[in-house]
Amino acid sequence: MALMNSSTQEIVKLISTFDWIVFSTVLVVTIISVFYGHHLKKKGEQNTPLEVLLMGRQLTLPMFIATLVATWYGGIFGVTAIAFEQGIFNFITQGFFWYLTYLLFAFFLVDKISRYRAFTLPDMVEKMFGPKSARLAAIFNLFNVLPIAYVISLGLFIQILFGLDFTMSMLIGIVVVLSYSLVGGFRAVVFSDLVQFFVMCAAVIFVLFFSVTTFGGIDFLKANLPKNHFSLTGNVGLANTLVWGFIALSTLVDPNFYQRCFAAKEPRVAKKGIIIATIIWFCFDICTTFGAMYARATMPDLDPNESYLIYAVKTLPEGLRGFILAGILATILSTLDSYLFLAGSTLSFDLWKKSESKKTIHYYKLNIIFSAIICFLMALIFEGNIKAVWKTLGSYSASCLLIPVLYGHLRPGKIKDGEFLFTSLFGVLCVTLWRTFSPWENIDAIYVGILVTSASLVFFSKSTLVKSKS
């Protein structure tokens, strides 16, 4: 067990018995909601792919909004660390770019993907291109949904709260999440997200409210923060800022979005739900960005990864301290359990042969455990750097899978199974080589991947056009 640092010791002293009661109550209610959701399954449908993966396509608008919002914000320590260090640059890179993508998904993709009546993103890719493309998309899917960043976030939370070794903290966190994630399928995830949605939103609102009433408004921040905290590009420049815009586009091939759209009762539920969720995300990002900026203004010497939690606990009154702890934990858990479920189901339902579908239903829980082990090991490899996880894995998805899938939506049937496979794999190869050997560090590999896959698709399109004319 690691020795607690002074900040951790101070937090533990501030947390009262009442705070622990509030914190524990939220945890208990969340776990009860999981079992309640599992209990609502119809008899005879518990082990069908439609029920396990999509809740029988019965996702209503309130549940759609709650589960989508809650699932999307597990990396709270990552975004608040960026805001702590660079201010509103965080709102641009982790907020604005993503809002544009969400709306693009709602108005451009929802109706198109609903026609396929697919179970998963790879299942849709198979219907669009073929089985080889589906297998490759499933591999992309797996690495896209492995919740490495959220295992790190949960480890940080436990480490700060209890002063344990970081590795041990991550291990304990994974075991706790697995203890309830293995109960039920997507339905259980949705019902836990309902509780976590209200807790996490209320928590960040409380932090911003008490920050403003305690220290003052924007004039206080301007007087106590570096000037670059109010720069749209922070201290990294326009090119590096725009990289996050392309990473945000990976939402257009994000399996969580697709799963919830496939599970919605009808396309208009998904479209309306994404639009309302975007408004909620805007408010949430305002709260977390400015909350972290208040942390920097009042406690500049804090570790960026720990700053938001420590600041919140020191700023809020008794009772609400326990609630903010529960809110931050809910933010992490709501994403971690959803992504673990998707990782396990990707292994079971997309990478196994369809002839073994009965076995996949039986073994998908084992695959969730296997996914958790992979996440733990990858978190160690990334040494707890959440930003590095997002940029590395997000860039592959955005640069190598995004363009081929969007092209398939724009021009259905124009590229074949093998052409999709070649385009995506060629993108992976070029991105990897660029990351490893490129002397131009200012040019991010994501630009290379997008350029290569786009050029490849243009080549195949022209080849098809020439053949058709001849």
pLDDT digits (tens, 9 = 90+) for 417-465: 999 999 999 998 998 898 888 877 777 788 888 899 999 998 887 766 5
User: How much is the pLDDT for 6?
Assistant: 58
Q: Is the residue at 429 inside a domain?
A: no
Q: Is the residue at 48 inside a domain?
A: yes
Alpha-carbon span 316 to 117, nearest angstrom: 47
User: How much is the pLDDT for 355?
Assistant: 44
Alpha-carbon span 26 to 203, nearest angstrom: 12
Q: Is the residue at 58 inside a domain?
A: yes
Q: Is the residue at 435 inside a domain?
A: no
Q: Which CATH number belongs to the domain containing residue 355 in this structure? A: 1.20.1730.10
Give which of 278, 289, 276 is closest to 251, Cα–Cα: 278
**3-class SS at 264?**
strand
| Count of domains forming the chain | 1
Residue with tokens 């996949």: 360
| Boundaries of domain holding 353 | 6-385
User: How much is the pLDDT for 1?
Assistant: 37
Do 360 and 353 form a contact (C-beta atoms < 8 A)? no
Q: Is the residue at 171 inside a domain?
A: yes
User: How much is the pLDDT for 44?
Assistant: 47
Alpha-carbon span 137 to 351, nearest angstrom: 10
Q: Is the residue at 65 inside a domain?
A: yes
Q: Is the residue at 396 inside a domain?
A: no
Alpha-carbon span 288 to 283, nearest angstrom: 9
Residues 37-50: tens digit of each pLDDT: 777 765 545 567 78
Counting as low any pLDDT under 70, the low residues of the chain are: 1-9, 41-47, 74, 184, 353-362, 387, 391, 394-395, 463-470
Q: Is the residue at 394 inside a domain?
A: no
Neighbours of 100 (CB within 10 A): 14
Report the run of H or E that residue 365 belongs to, with start and end: helix 357-381
One DSSP character per residue, 200-243 reads HHHHHHHHHHHHHHHH-SHHHHHHHS-GGGG-TTTTTHHHHHHH
